[in-house]
A and B are shown apart, each in its own frame.
Chain A
Amino acid sequence: MKLVIIGNGIAGNQVAFDVRKKDPDAQIVILSAEDVPEYDPCSLPYFLGGECGRMDVFRKTSKDYADGRIDLLYDSKVVSIDPENKTVTTHTGEKIGYDNLVLAHGGDLFIPPIPGIDTPGVFSCKQLGETQKLAAHKGTRAVVIGSGAIGIEAAEALKRKGYEVYIIELMDWILPSLFDEPTAKRLENELTGYGIQVFTHEKVLEIKGAGQVIAVVTDRRTIDCDTVVVATGVVPGTALAQTAGIETGRGIQVNRQMQTSVPDIYACGDCVETIDACTGEIAMFQLKHNAIEQAQVAARHILGEPVRYLGAYAFARAHFFDTHAATFGKTQRALDCVFGDKRIVEREDQNNYLRVVMLDNRIVGGQAIGTFADELGLLIGAMWRKDDFLDIAAKMRTLPKGGAVHAWPMVRLGTLLGM
């Protein structure tokens, strides 16, 4: 069997090494658009901020590929797929045949159509090459456009490097897809406390400068700066799949075995559109743990094992300086278009904050800052099991105080929810 994997990211490597572990004879080829072994994009902001060295971002070395007898071809950007003849074509025109093909090329950075976005001094923080350029850049004032997880982490990293940092967010609050307003406003206050200026509900109109960035113009103000970081999100790469006639929606469509609509072509990682394990809705959770799990499912199916993917889940953390926050599942805003009995449970204790989102008495999401976050995993478990909140509350009332040893998991959950 000849297995060709497009993309040398988390998902691609997981498929390659999982298949190699069980099939010593398969011929495995990874086509990488970059020129380094597998690295972890999640580590890049910490490399940028100097919290870890360049070597620490790598998950593999060239030796790992040699030991696993995996052919890693650098600078091979695949431009088209021919499912009839089972070949892929790279940008140099080279044709490579396959028996099984895995699309794991991930997402592309969304570049907003802002005038001046290609001015020197505008960087991103998604790929190693770009991040290295940003790390080597000498500047003093930086504007981060977008306040998703990457934007916040990049802002922290630049602040650590001594920059004066501004964050501009188009939506009403920072981290808009991960947190609800009350949680996000608290995080915004913390950021401001660390000296990072945050401007929400502002639109960037233009990046000024000829030959070098000198200012960012928004609909409210002009900020002088010498560095701009674009962190406006990641969109799944679907163009390549379309050349093979694979069905795509927001991402590449796959079934429960990670197969696309074209035979012998699989897809996994940031480029696919998947389902939420808890609600069954179509979801785009472009997160590392989902990429790893999808790749493990794809590898098992390629090896002919019976397997069925149960779905992805949202879990993310926001961490800067001494502030720690985490979120999982749905936000209140994401529930706005859903029918049902919605309830929010909030707890507050000094700087610590917990917010649990419930739908029809079942936990569907939660956000926490500080010590409450330390036990957030219990709530994720409750979401997973679809625990009935009314049931827990009723049982908590009937338990004898101090004598409910057998029910300690429930007591622990109930205590966290303030019952």
Chain B
Amino acid sequence: MNMRREQLAIDPEKCTGCRRCMIACAMKHHGRIDPDLSRVNIIGLDSKDLNVPVICMACDTAPCIKVCPMNARIRQANGTVTTDTDVCIGCRACVYICPVGSPRINPYTGRTMTCDMCEGETEPWCVAACRQEKALTLCTQGSVSHRAARKAASKTKQFHTGG
């Protein structure tokens, strides 16, 4: 199992709901200013007074990999779990099983998309877009917030004990 070396941490307290991260994400992956194409999803709760950025945390025992009928959910070398859009048929099984409801549907293709940590970039674009508010930050392996996030991500859908 590839442990995710870097981790995006969210802080809903700092999130203003400006959705710049969503626009940055759509720009990076699709070259378009369209929040519908973002892998980060800001959900507005309490009549939109409370904003929470939802992103894939790449669970250690990721249930989306197991329920995909097309085996299109693939664990990448950097630890992220992404959809192979060539074989995805848009059944949304990965969305329904996700403990945080993170995979998003590309409204133009019907296929799912999740955070790939902007592989190859020095820092994910959403983090760069949120540098002022710091609601989305990048924590590296060994840091306290990284450990806390991975601990949470290892508890989802635990199916055995021991070892």
Q: Are A293 and B160 in contact (CB under 8 A)?
A: yes
Instruction: For B96, give its contact among A42, A51, A374 (CB under 8 Å).
Output: A374
CB-CB < 8 A to A378: which residues of B? 99-101
**A324 touching B92, Cβ below 8 Å:** yes
Given contacts A46-B70, A293-B160, A307-B162, contact A408 B97 (CB under 8 A): no
Per-residue A-contact encoding for B80-96, CB less than 8 Å = 1, 0 else: 00000001010111011
Q: Is the CB of A59 within 8 A of B96?
A: no
Kindly specify which of A134-142, A186-194, A340-348, A398-406 makes contact with the partner chain. A398-406
Shortest distance between the CB of A397 and any CB in chain B (Å): 13
Q: Which of B18-26, B61-69, B125-133, B142-150 lines the interface with chain A?
A: B61-69
Q: Using a Cβ–Cβ cut-off of 8 Å, how many residues does chain A contribute to the interface with B?
A: 49
- Nearest A residue (CB) for B46: A402
Partner of A46, one of B69, B96, B158, B163: B69
Which of these, A59, A296, A374, contacts B160 with CB under 8 Å?
A: A296
Q: What's the minimum C-beta distance from B123 to chain A, rounded to whole angstroms?
A: 25
User: In the complex, which residues of chain B have a beta carbon less than 8 angstroms from the beta carbon of A93?
Assistant: none
A52-B89, A289-B67, A415-B45 known; A380-B97 Cβ under 8 A: yes
Find chain A residues with CB under 8 A from B69 CB. 40, 42-43, 46, 288
Give the residues in chain B near A56, CB-CB below 8 Å: 70, 87
The CA-CA distance from A374 to B41 in the complex, in Å, is 12
| A residues 261-313 touching B (CB-CB < 8 Å) | 277, 287-289, 292-293, 296-297, 300, 305-311
CA distance A401 to B87 in the complex (A): 43
CB distance from A21 to the nearest CB of B (A): 10
Partner of A374, one of B52, B95, B158: B95
Q: Complex: how many Å from CA A190 to CA B91?
A: 16
Select the residue from A319, A324, A380, A405 with max chain B CB neighbours within 10 A.
A405
Asked if B159 is an interface residue, CB under 8 A from chain A, the answer is: yes
Residue ID in chain B nearest A45 by CB atoms: B69
Judge whether B78 is part of the interface by a CB distance below 8 angstroms.
no
The tally of CB-CB contacts under 8 A between chains A and B is 124
CA gap between A59 and B96 in the complex, in Å: 23
Question: What chain B residues lie within 8 Å of A306 (beta carbons)?
Answer: 162-163
Query: Is A315 at the interface (CB under 8 A from chain B)?
Result: yes
Q: Which of B66, B69, B89, B93 has the most CB of A within 10 A?
A: B69
Distance (Å) between the CB of B156 and the closest chain A CB? Answer: 7
Task: Tell me whether B160 and A288 are in contact (CB under 8 A).
Answer: no
B34: CB under 8 A from chain A?
no
Chain B residue nearest to A51 in the complex (CB): B89
Which residue from chain A places its CB closest to the CB of B61 in the assembled complex? Answer: A293
Q: Is B5 an interface residue (CB 8 A)?
A: no
Q: List 29 A-B contacts (CB under 8 A).
A: A40-B70, A288-B67, A293-B159, A305-B163, A306-B162, A306-B163, A307-B163, A308-B162, A315-B67, A315-B96, A317-B91, A317-B92, A324-B91, A326-B92, A326-B93, A373-B96, A374-B101, A376-B101, A377-B97, A378-B100, A384-B157, A401-B46, A402-B47, A403-B49, A406-B13, A408-B45, A412-B43, A412-B45, A415-B46
Chain A contact residues, CB within 8 Å of chain B: 40, 42-43, 46, 51-52, 56, 59, 277, 287-289, 292-293, 296-297, 300, 305-311, 315, 317, 319, 324, 326, 368, 373-378, 380-381, 384, 401-406, 408, 411-412, 415
Give the 8 A-B residue pairs with the shortest CB-CB distance, closest first: A402-B49, A42-B69, A289-B66, A326-B96, A306-B162, A377-B98, A319-B91, A375-B101
Q: Which B residues are within 8 Å of any A CB, using their own CB? A: 12-13, 43, 45-47, 49-50, 52, 63, 66-67, 69-71, 87, 89, 91-93, 95-101, 156-163
6 extra A-B contacts, CB within 8 A, seeds A52-B87, A293-B66: A288-B69, A289-B63, A300-B160, A309-B159, A373-B96, A378-B101
